[in-house]
Amino acid sequence: AQTVTQSQPEMSVQEAETVTLSCTYDTSESDYYLFWYKQPPSRQMILVIRQEAYKQQNATENRFSVNFQKAAKSFSLKISDSQLGDAAMYFCAYRSEDSGGGADGLTFGKGTHLIIQP
Amino acid sequence: GAVVSQHPSRVICKSGTSVKIECRSLDFQATTMFWYRQFPKKSLMLMATSNEGSKATYEQGVEKDKFLINHASLTLSTLTVTSAHPEDSSFYICSARVTGGFNQPQHFGDGTRLSIL
């Protein structure tokens, strides 16, 4: 079974600064997907960024980028120019590329609570 | 695009009541939908995978008779918590994946907060 570990229960950053959220995972599979989701107080899960394991290039989405280290099984999220609206719980998630049988739900980490200080 | 509607958003009911939660994909078809459970300040745990026209696949430890899942159409999956008890109180979230888009991300509903008195 796959596991996802987020070792930072809470992180705090000054507005406009850069913050990095850590995520490691354990898997025996070679092909898979990794995601970062944001869950604001409204509780809706919002996709921030995704990474295919077969791609060596790190994914970027505007102020959000990842540092994907496949050999180290590490998938950190960097948020540049932090904004007040970035405050939320951030979850790292793993999904098999092909688990077969249609059972391919996400495995989530425990989350990191990101606080943005004005 | 890719909007998932979950209803109701909040349910408060007495112990022993059965509660049905709906998950609808509004602007796309979803052969596969997923049901997650989230305890306060905890992560999301996959409960089951719902496939249109077939039986749901439940994760280990999830009671099939307790959490009934029906996925009768390409846009609707329902989760029924049967004879709910206080320990079933939680936040339930569904997600849906675009039909034919195995490589597509899951789109989440807004969740349902279930409180059993």
Q: Is the pLDDT of residue A103 over 60?
A: no
Q: A73 or B2, which is more confident?
A: A73
Beta strand spans in B52-97 (E): 57-58, 67-73, 76-81, 90-97
Contacts with B105 from chain A: Cβ below 8 Å: 35, 47, 50
pLDDT higher than 80, residue B100: no
Look at residue B23 and give its three-state secondary structure: strand
Nearest-Cα residue of chain A relative to residue B103: A97
Q: Is A45 close to B42, i.e. CB distance below 8 A? A: no
Higher per-residue confidence, A103 vs A106: A106
Residue-wise pLDDT tens digits, B79-91: 999 999 999 999 9
Residue A15 has pLDDT above 90, yes or no: yes
A26 CB-contact burial (10 Å; exposed 0-12 / middle 13-18 / buried 19+):
exposed
Residue B57 and residue A103: Cβ atoms within 8 Å?
yes
What is the 8-class DSSP label of residue B88?
Answer: G
Predicted local distance difference test score (pLDDT) of residue B19: 97
Taking only the tens place, the pLDDT of each residue in B17-73 is: 999 999 999 999 988 999 999 988 788 999 999 988 888 999 999 999 999 999 989
The predicted structure's pLDDT at residue B54: 86
What is the strand order of the sheet B19-25 is part of?
B4-7, B19-25, B76-81, B67-73
DSSP code per residue over chain A:
--EEE---SEEEEETTS-EEE--EEE-S-SSEEEEEEEE-TT---EEEEEEETT--SPPEETTEEEEEETTTTEEEEEE-S--GGG-EEEEEEEEES--STT----EE---EEEEEE-
Asked whether the predicted pLDDT for residue A99 surpasses 70, the reply is no
What pLDDT, on the 0 to 100 scale, is given for residue A37?
96
Contact B43 A44 (CB under 8 A): no
User: Tokens 């939320």 identify what position?
Assistant: A88
* Residue B27 forms contact with A (CB below 8 Å): no
Question: Between the ranges A81-90, B52-61, B99-108, where is the mean pLDDT highest?
Answer: A81-90
Contacts of B110 in chain A (CB under 8 A): 42-44
Q: Whole-number mean pLDDT of chain A?
A: 92
* Cα(B43)–Cα(B67) distance, integer angstroms: 19
In a mutational test of the B interface, the residue from A7, A91, A97, A106 whose CB has the highest number of chain B CBs within 10 Å is: A106
Structure tokens at A37: 């989701």
CA distance A82 to chain B (A): 23
Question: Which residue's entry shows tokens 């930072």?
Answer: A8
